[in-house]
Amino acid sequence: MFGNVFNWLALLRAFAVISNPARFFAAIARGKELPDVVVRTPTGNVCIHLRNFESLRTLFSIFCRLDYNTPAQPACAFIDVGANIGIASVYFLSRNRANRVTCFEPDRENLDFLRRNLRTFANRSTICAYALATSDGSATLYRAEDGKYSSLIASERACLPEQIECRSFKSTLQTINADTLPITVKIDVEGLELALVNSVDWREFPTVRRLICEATGWGATIPRPHTQRVRTALVEDVIFTDEGAPS
């Protein structure tokens, strides 16, 4: 875990963010899971319930390494595609008291944790228990035992097949009501990020102001004017610089 230089840079931040850093780092050092971790946020302390050791690593990357670094203002509506157990959603919701999140998570083993973690934010969050894909229909979800690497693409880790519902990513963007808030879309779908990004003409969605993906190299494929940044060599972050109208 600490072979990544960005993880070392996040260590000091962890002491400020994690309410019990000794307990946290003891678990990391031993490779042991914790049932929960309390994090300090701009809106107060939040207890995040963890599924396993992979959840602990994810919490570190989001809250301490700041893979999805998001300022407190302006308030935004977030679309969390591949929400897992909700750690990213909790991060977004805890930046201020006005942010909203709509989550999409098809792995049934993650859903109880997702609901539990978002209970505090029930009035500002919506959970959708299906996958977003390039079209409507059904598909095979290849579940991973740890829940982190579940994907529509089979792999050594994702190897437990299960039929699930899929809905069109583009159609979903068209129907989500963001209450006039600017939209940030976060995508972490284990290998299908580029397909989802390219299934949409982002010029048609002027209220989408930012895209965050757990992949790199996709930002250059978007014709809409933007700036982009690669975070921690793992996450690419695109900020649109226009009003989104088709050219």
Strand locations in 76-201, DSSP E?
77-81, 100-104, 125-128, 131-133, 137-144, 158-168, 183-187
Lowest mean pLDDT among 2-6, 166-170, 182-186: 2-6
Q: Is 85 helix (H, G, I), strand (E, B) or coil?
A: coil
| Interatomic CA distance for residues 152 and 192, integer angstroms | 8
Rg from Cα positions in the chain: 17
- The percent of residues above 90 in pLDDT, for the chain, comes to 85
> Which two three-digit tokens encode residue 145?
């035992």
Q: In which band, very low, low, confident or very high, does the pLDDT at 232 lie, cut at 50, 70 and 90?
A: confident
Per-residue pLDDT at 214 exceeds 70: yes
Model pLDDT, residue 244: 63
Give pLDDT, residue 42: 97
pLDDT bucket at 4, cuts 50 / 70 / 90? low
52 has a pLDDT exceeding 60: yes
Q: Can you give the pLDDT at residue 217?
A: 87
User: At residue 58, does pLDDT exceed 50?
Assistant: yes
**pTM score, two decimals?**
0.94
Pick the range with the lowest mean pLDDT from 24-33, 44-53, 85-94, 228-237.
228-237
Beta strands (DSSP E) in the chain are 36-41, 44-49, 77-81, 100-104, 125-128, 131-133, 137-144, 158-168, 183-187, 208-213, 226-231, 235-240
Residue 73 pLDDT > 80, yes or no? yes
pLDDT digits (tens, 9 = 90+) for 122-155: 999 999 999 999 999 999 999 999 999 999 999 9
CA separation for the pair 196, 171 (Å, rounded): 12
Query: Could you tell me if 82 and 103 are in contact, meaning their C-beta atoms sit under 8 angstroms apart?
Result: no
CB contact burial 57-79 (16+ within 10 A = b; e otherwise): bbbbbbbbbbbbebeeeeebbbb
C-beta pairs of 172-175 under 8 Å, 24+ apart in sequence: 172/79, 172/104, 172/132, 173/79, 173/200, 173/205, 173/208
Span 81-86, average pLDDT: 98
What is the model's pLDDT at position 247?
A: 40
Compare 199 and 7 and report the one with higher pLDDT: 199
- Mean pLDDT calculated for residue range 52-71: 95
- The percent of the chain in helix, strand and coil, each rounded to the nearest 5, is 30, 30, 40
Give the chain's mean pLDDT.
92
The tokens describing 120, both together, are 């505090």
Q: Is 70-240 CATH 3.40.50.150?
A: yes
- In angstroms, the CA 36 to CA 165 distance is 30
Copy the structure tokens of residue 78: 């977030």
pLDDT at 1 over 60: no
Residue 151 carries which DSSP code? B
What is the mean predicted confidence (pLDDT) over 208-224?
A: 92
Region 68-97 average pLDDT: 97
